[in-house]
Amino acid sequence: MNVTKEKLKDLIRTKLHNAGLSVEHADGVADVLVYADARGIHSHGAIRVEYYSERIAKGGINVNPDFSFEKTGPSAGLFNGDNGSGHVAAKKAMDEAIKMAKETGIAVVGVKRISHSGALSYFVQQAARVEMIGLSVCQADPMAVPFGGAEPYYGTNPIAFAAPGKDQKMITFDMATTVKAWGKVLDARSKNEPIPDNWAVDQHGEPTADPFQVNGLLPIAGAKGYGLAMMVDILSGILLGLPFGNRVSPLYGDLSKGRDLGQLHIVINPAFFTDLETFKQNISQTMADLNNITPAPGFEQVSYPGQGSALREIESEQNGIEIVDDVYNYLISDVIHSNKYGNKDPFAK
C-alpha cells in the first residue's frame, strides 16, 4: 500500500495515542518512524507500531514520564527518560546537547532509562541541521555472539554519525555492529530463502545458511566488529550505570516492565575548531569527490554515506511511501495489539 508521509504519520500517531501515549509523545514517535520508512529503513518504521502499542498498553512504556536533565559539567549532562518513549527522550536529550555545544564547542549527553528509540540517524541529523557534528551510540538487546563465541552477549549496538555540508546537505552514517540486522534474517525466512553463511550462527556456534537455525548474529569484520559492539555497550551502558552486555533487557521480554536502555549523544561544534564555512565546503567537496570516483564494475556511481537514503526521502515526498499491506491494515483497524510480542524468544521460528 502506498501512502503519503502525512497520512502515514497521522495513522501512526492515532494508533499510539489510542494505545495510551499523549498526543505530543505519539507525534514525536510517529515522526521518527515515518523518517525511517521514508528513507527505506522499514525495519525501524511503521512495522514497529504494534510492538510499541502492546508495550504501551501493558505498561512497559511510561506514558507519563518525568523527563529530567542534569548538567553534570560544562560540556556534560545526563537525561533521565524515566522509561518513557525512547524516540521522544533521545530527541529532547539531543536538543540539550546542541544547546551545550553552541556554548562550549562540545557536548556529551548520556540518555538513561529509555525504551527503544528507533533509527539512530534521526538524532545525529538534528545536530547536522544546525551546522554541528552529531555522533550517537546506543544499546540493543543481546542477539550477537562475541568473536569466537557460541551464544549472544551484545546487541546489534548501532553507531550513527552526521556532518553538515553546504545547502543543508549532509553526510549521514548509521550502522549496526553486526553483519546484518535481524530484520534481514526475518525477510529470508518469509521468502524461505537461505542466507549467506557469514551472517549468523546456529545454537552450536557454527555458521549457518538456514535462517530458521539462527541463534546469534555475527559481528562485522570479526574481532573488529566485536570490539565496536563492546565500545558501544560501555559508552551507552556501563558509563551510565545501566545494565550491560547480556543483562540488557530483551526487546520481547516482559512488556509490563521498562527496558532501562542507554544511549550516548556527542555533539561537536565545528566553529570551535575551524572556520565553519570552510568546514561545510570541505564536507560538500568530500561528497563531490566520492561521487566522481571511477565506479567499480557493476556500479553506476560511488555514493557518499547516506546519499541513497536521502534520495529515497526526497522521492517519498513526491511518490509516497510503500507500506506492507498487513502493516497498513493494522494501522487503519481498531485493534491496539494482538498480544503477540510478550515473552517471545527473539530467535523463535
Active site (catalytic) residues: 116
Q: In degrees to the nearest 10, what's the CA dihedral of 280, 282, 286, 287?
A: 30
Distance from C-alpha of 169 to C-alpha of 306, rounded to nearest angstrom: 10
Cα angle for residues 125, 131, 134 (degrees, 5° grid) = 40
Please give the single-letter amino acid code of residue 313.
E
Cα angle for residues 106, 107, 110 (degrees, 5° grid) = 155
Burial label, 235 (beta-carbon count in 10 A; 0-12, 13-18, 19+):
buried
DSSP state of 108: E
C-alpha cell belonging to residue 305: 554515506
The closest of 314, 260, 264 to 160, measured between CA atoms, is: 264
